Structure 1
């Protein structure tokens, strides 16, 4: 008989998106520190490693030829060009983690989230992190970087565009208190792990109970 108290589930892909300054990176670090079954997605990139970066940990560093081969073979769950470099999420590495009942955390914007939804919607859980107010977001941006006011204004305009896509996400968390926001994201993750579609062998387990 299947023991459902042990791990018998498929992992999930957890996306956190937010405008700059809303606290997404801080929440992500806390989740990864607290949960051994949650790992960060490691992207491929065609750019050269920066000092201190390690292949397979910070990025999978590949050639442009390999990148384009992966795109042509549908080997990337999402991909984008940023200036002269290419980035993407390798499908096979994510699939390996999901099959091992590990959850994969993604730090992508709304465009990357849309691509993930097109390629793996059944495995995807999306959360958008919002700041508590327009003024608080501006305060946070000023605190975290010594930027001129025109730069802050550009960041705020970009944030407004990003936040306009909030309704495309499964869940919304307002980060007015970091501890509370982390707890809410953890609650979402716990509930999504229990969805019946992710419980491998559940039908056979229930059938055995009912015989």
Structure 2
């Protein structure tokens, strides 16, 4: 079924790792029954507490490449060597079949790719950290990151911040409660338009 036959819209949240997008997305899911989380596919191993079909669809590198060949993804990318992330067409269809709108929590390149795919049916929000120091402090506070992964994510963050203007809205997450309220209003205005 083509996506044009659905009234579903897409809300895309992207940000450098550690900017707070996942917390904001969880808040929106908790407060709006018309939103459903799009579960991305990845070839990376699950982190502690992550579960198949809830956090991600975990695929081997070979499986991921086979899905790419089959045209099963709306968008995908190789974020780091052999570490793929992508959005499956069947995931979007699943949500639209439920008569809900799709909410994405994706990295910056994924967000731009989704915006390109869905056009006017999507609102792309870039969650901006107050500064790079705050971002690094949040990554360190996670307790899941190695020094190498923090360095890698900080390097990527500088590139990601450079394309923030490509998104429909930049939401500055200086104060989390304020950012949640602003996100709620943005989403309500877009979905109810």
TM-score (norm 1): 0.72
Out of 82, 85, 103, which is 1:84 matched to?
A: 82
After superposition, the C-alpha distances for 1:38-80 in whole angstroms (9 at most, x for unaligned) are: 2211123455667765443233345666544532343211112
SS of equivalent residue, structure 1 residue 14: strand
Structure 2 gap ranges (5+): 1-5
Distance 1:193 1:65, change over 3 A: same
After superposition, the C-alpha distances for 1:142-186 in whole angstroms (9 at most, x for unaligned) are: 444497988766543332211111011000111111111011111
Query: Higher mean Cα deviation, 148-157 or 31-40?
Result: 148-157
Aligned partner of 1:169 in structure 2 is 167
Query: Higher mean Cα deviation, 63-72 or 36-45?
Result: 63-72
Aligned partner of 1:104 in structure 2 is 102
Aligned partner of 1:18 in structure 2 is 15
Cα shift at 1:22: 1.8
Q: Between Structure 1 and Structure 2, how many residues are aligned?
A: 187
1:29-108 mapped onto 2 (5 Å cutoff):
29-46=26-43, 54-62=51-59, 67-81=64-78, 82-108=80-106
Structure 1 gap ranges (5+): 1-8, 196-211
CA distance in 2, matches of 1:73, 1:174: 38
SS of equivalent residue, structure 1 residue 19: coil
CA distance in 2, matches of 1:67, 1:42: 15
**What value does the CA root-mean-square deviation take over the aligned residues?**
3.2
TM-score (norm 2): 0.77
Say if 1:12 and 1:123, in contact at 8 Å, map to a contact too.
yes
